[in-house]
Structure 1
Amino acid sequence: MGDSISSLPDEILGKLLSLVPTKVAASTSVLSKRWRNLLSLVDSLSFDESMVVYPNEEEATKGSQRFCDFVDKTLALLHNSPAIKTFSLCHYELQRRIRPSQPSYAMGTFQIWGHFGGTVVEHASIKRLVIATHVPHHIDYYLLLEYFENACQTVRFQAPSLVYLDYSSFVFRKYDVGDLDSLVEARLSLKLWRSTSHYDYDDDYYYDYNGSLCDDDDPSPPIFGDVTCLVAAIRNITTLHLSPDSLEVFHFCCKSMPIFNNLLNLSIESNNQNGWQVMPLLLKSCPNLQTLVFKGLVHKVTNRCGDACACNPQNPSLKNSKKMKKKKKICCLQTCPVKVLEISDYGGCFQEVEQMRHFLGNLKCLETVKVGVVPDNKGKNAEFLRANLMNLPKLSSKCTIQLL
């Protein structure tokens, strides 16, 4: 069997080696002289240390260094490789700085998994870029603060051929993003470094890093990061996916919202831990939006939700209520050109019904509404949910509702 495989053409062997982990592919070079130079024909690289379990911290440190050395040596061997189509890297301690020296080096998909840290990706031919930073749900705030103060704080993207970006990470202080005019689709899962609960109802005061009150007349202190440059760089995309945390990042960490003239599809995830503060501004910035997708309608109620939702804040101050009345204008939904509205994970609770009432009563261009019901509410409850939705008033006479 071994001789039969060795007799295959080099191109075929290169394809076979591309299907296995790079560590396995590299190990074949010791089999014989025939296999020694075949690694240069591999068009898919996959480095993954996440599956390795170390007995203690000392061994983990040594093993981590060996992994880094292996990655460096392998990339050095492949610096003349003609066409790497897929690159996947998963390592917790790696300083992620990718700057290939060969301008002819062609790359289709590039993936990074690791712990939070600055990232630099510079490549003229990358088409698909996936950066997934481990974002723990529960971690001590002061540990995060210490890391934030000491870690590399710049994320740099220079990839003019990029058409797809999937980026998951904490927000950093600075984003240096070059020309992304080729970008078609972006999937962002950005997370703030600290809670924004102090901002939910108190419009007159803000809290700085140390928890000290800042008067409203003073410039609002930043909340660990600035994504203004990143958001501006993706303004030409046609499809945008945002996580629940990303909505709050856009609100707190984006100094100015660009106009997304080409954006046709906007997909938003929602949960009860994050608010919709940026929704009105975001929708107003999408003048040609055709399809609006929500995974869940339940979200955190704040005084800053705006008119994109039907929320009634639980404890707004009298002063703030007066402000809201003075600022009341035409609902942002009434100028939104969306024709297709898709909802998934619909449970039919009061907040969801009221939100659907708000959508149907203000989106004047709606033609199709698709509502996916959570599995627990299918069956007997489905008819009740259907009747509830069908009886809601619709501003658009062309609107049809489908319960999925």
Structure 2
Amino acid sequence: MPNDALIVSILNLMGDSISSLPDEILGKLLSLVPTKVAASTSVLSKRWRNLLSLVDSLSFDESMVVYPNEEEATKGSQRFCDFVDKTLALLHNSPAIKTFSLCRVAKTMSYNDESARLNRHTQWGLFRYGATFGGGGGGTVVEHASIKRLVIATHVPHHIDYYLLLEYFENACQTVRFQAPSLVYLDYSSFVFRKYDVGDLDSLVEARLSLKLWRSTSHYDYDDDYYYDYNGSLCDDDDPSPPIFGDVTCLVAAIRNITTLHLSPDSLEVFHFCCKSMPIFNNLLNLSIESNNQNGWQVMPLLLKSCPNLQTLVFKGLVHKVTNRCGDACACNPQNPSLKNSKKMKKKKKICCLQTCPVKVLEISDYGGCFQEVEQMRHFLGNLKCLETVKVGVDPDNKGKNAEFLLANLMNLPKLSSKCTIQLL
């Protein structure tokens, strides 16, 4: 029995205990289940037949669609879009809608432009907006003065070849457009687009960015000779492969007034390779960064220098990929014989970006105590002069070392700030 029919049967079995409740309460109950289930309930149950218009939350998830065969599931089906269209047409005048979530996971590249439909429905004045696109290249358009919370996730299958993606982007819409002056919270997960057209986001308080490049940048790890072409794409004279795609300069500039920023490991590299100029984040108080050994910290010095009032710095993991552009935010000392100006670089002594960083609270999670992590902690403690509190959470998968041992190692590291205290989470 399908899940929606099962839920309807349960509701019917409960009889008057629920059916006797006011319509407004029943509408709230329908809002708690996926919209497909809510719609089926309204169709299959007499008592619930006219209550769909009372739901305040719409959640469309393609995984709820049952495809007739594997071939249709692989190619994608119009059934999901038809269901979304019919439901939204039925509820287009509903004043109750506050939450709208659309999840579509397509298995093939498609030029379907879903942005027009989403743009139309944002005119309801939604407070939260969510979308997951399978193709990733159709662009996203969000325009409305009253949207408060915006959540967008764009997924592209990892098995698709970059050259196919590049050709795809040449034929698809390449611009993401945000016009939401009342936006307070932005959660944006996507591969980078060629262009971002972002309006006034002065009301934005918190942003969570998970941006991803379309191709690996490993061949740039020890290369000082790359540049931006006339399209704003990163190039290398000796590199026959396509340039790095995307430009997030406008997007980054638009969020400059936020107080809290969360960045994924890939976002750090996107900021480095696809942001032509870094704005000053005068209001930024909390910066949270995820890190792994697949992505570098090239942008970290510039980012920290651009946050003159930063109070709390949070890292989920300290291990990162070492490149010749790590800078002085980390303790890395990359050795590469191909560096032409390594001797000159050693002679130049600059003030470490950490010494001008006003951070008072440093929080580390997933700490494992490996050599690179210990050296990074030594670098932080020895250069952050305003540091007052260090909170360290031990990696739960690290069973070879106990927390007390790791804490003892950290306590023995020299500290520039006399006010600094270290505690385990």
Give the TM-score of the pair, scaled to structure 1.
Answer: 0.88
Q: How far off is 1:5 after superposition?
A: 4.2
Q: CA deviation at 1:7?
A: 4.1
Cα deviation for residue 117 of structure 1 reads 3.5
Cα distance in 2 for residues equivalent to 1:353 and 1:4: 61
Taking the aligned partners of 1:74 and 1:32, their CA distance within structure 2 comes to 17
Residues 286-333 of structure 1, C-alpha deviation per residue, up to 9 Å, x if partnerless?
A: 000000000111100001111101111131535231453465411000
Give 1:79 deviation, angstroms.
1.7
Cα distance in structure 2, aligned partners of 1:220 and 1:396: 47
User: Is the Cα contact below 8 Å between 1:47 and 1:89 reproduced in 2?
Assistant: yes
Q: CA RMSD in A?
A: 3.4
Q: Is the 8 A contact 1:29 1:39 kept in 2?
A: yes
**Gaps in structure 2 of 5+ consecutive residues:** 1-13, 104-113
Contact 1:117 1:153 in 2 (8 A): yes
Task: Give percent identity, aligned residues only.
Answer: 96
Whole-angstrom distance in 2 between the partners of 1:109 and 1:321: 54
1:205 Cα shift? 4.9
Is the deviation greater in 147-156 or in 4-13? 4-13
- Offset at residue 146 of structure 1 (A): 2.8
Change in 2 beyond 3 A, CA 1:95/1:57 = farther
Q: How far is the alpha carbon of 1:158 from its aligned partner?
A: 1.4
Secondary structure at the aligned position of 2:166 is classed as: helix
Change in 2 beyond 3 A, CA 1:160/1:94: closer
Deviation, 1:376, is 4.3
1:28 Cα shift?
A: 3.6
Question: Do the aligned residues in 1 keep the contact of 2:145 with 2:182 (CA within 8 Å)?
Answer: yes
Q: How far apart, CA to CA, are the structure 1 residues paired with 2:165 and 2:135?
A: 16
Write the deviation string for residues 119-159 of structure 1: whole angstroms up to 9, x where unpaired. 11112222111111224445422232233323321111111
Which moves more between the two structures, 237-246 or 370-379?
Answer: 370-379
- Whole-angstrom distance in 2 between the partners of 1:258 and 1:211: 18
Measure, in 2, the Cα distance between the counterparts of 1:123 and 1:235: 20
Q: CA deviation at 1:19?
A: 1.5
Change (3 A) 1:57 1:119: farther
Cα gap change, 1:180/1:213 in structure 2, threshold over 3 Å: closer, same or farther?
A: closer
- Return 354-363 or 324-333, whichever deviates more: 324-333
TM-score by length of 2: 0.84
Any idea what SS the aligned residue of 1:34 has? coil
Matches of residues 117-266 of structure 1 in structure 2 within 5 Å?
A: 117-205=138-226, 223-266=244-287
In 1, the alpha carbon distance for the partners of 2:29 and 2:137 equals 33
> Which digits, 9 at most, give the CA deviation of each residue in 1:335-376, with x for residues without a partner?
000000011111111111111111011000000011111124
Q: CA deviation at 1:8?
A: 3.1
Alpha carbons of structure 1 residues 291 and 214: separation in structure 2 relative to 1, 3 Å:
closer
- Tell me if structure 2 keeps the 8 A contact 1:201–1:316: no
Instruction: Name the stretch that deviates more: 170-179 or 1-10.
Output: 1-10
* Shift of residue 100, structure 1, vs aligned partner: 3.3
What does the per-residue CA deviation read over 1:210-269, in whole Å, with 9 as the maximum and x for residues that have no partner? 999966799999521000111111111111000000000000000111111111100000
Most deviating of 143-152 and 8-17: 143-152
